Amino acid sequence: MSYELSGKLVAKYDTVQRTGTFKTREFVVEKSDIIGDRTISNFVKFQCVQDKTAIVDRVNVGDEIKVHFNIKGSRWEKDGKVNYITNLDAWRIEQSLKAGNAEAAPQTNNEYLEPLDTFSATSPDAVDDLPF
């Protein structure tokens, strides 16, 4: 099952090579909600793995984005102690045009999101990384 979260990109980190064949990259999105007369901000850290680590390169800190992700959990045991780890694995990022080029957005939707994946992106810079 996949999930979505929209917010502002507030941090992105370098790719970390965890093993010879496995790499990860983390980034943080600020999700703000207005409740009554207060604004509540949550900071959500995501990770990208393997070939998806490059999807963060196409957005900048401060951009409004929509993140598509899966929730993954694992059990880890060491020295008789058990720990559970939850990861939010991002697999697609869309950039919102509402803060920038408003005339490029359709009139019916003020939050048009341009896909940054190769399946539906209109950009000529998109790279097809499908294995088939």
62: domain CATH number is: 2.40.50.140
pLDDT-derived band at 1 (thresholds 50, 70, 90) equals confident
- Tell me whether residue 125 is in a domain: no
23, with CB counted inside 10 A (0-12, 13-18, 19+), is: middle
Q: What is the pTM of this model?
A: 0.70
Q: Rounded to 10 degrees, what is the CA torsion of 67, 15, 54, 9?
A: 30
pLDDT score for 123: 53
Say whether 34 sits in a helix, a strand or coil: strand
pLDDT at 106 over 50: no
What residue numbers bound the domain in which 11 lies? 2-115
pLDDT-derived band at 109 (thresholds 50, 70, 90) equals very low
Percent of the chain with pLDDT over 70: 73
Digit-coded pLDDT (tens) for 64-74: 999 999 999 99
The pLDDT of 94-101, averaged and rounded, is 68
Into how many domains does the chain fold?
A: 1
pLDDT score for 6: 95
> Is residue 73 within 8 Å of 93, Cβ to Cβ?
no
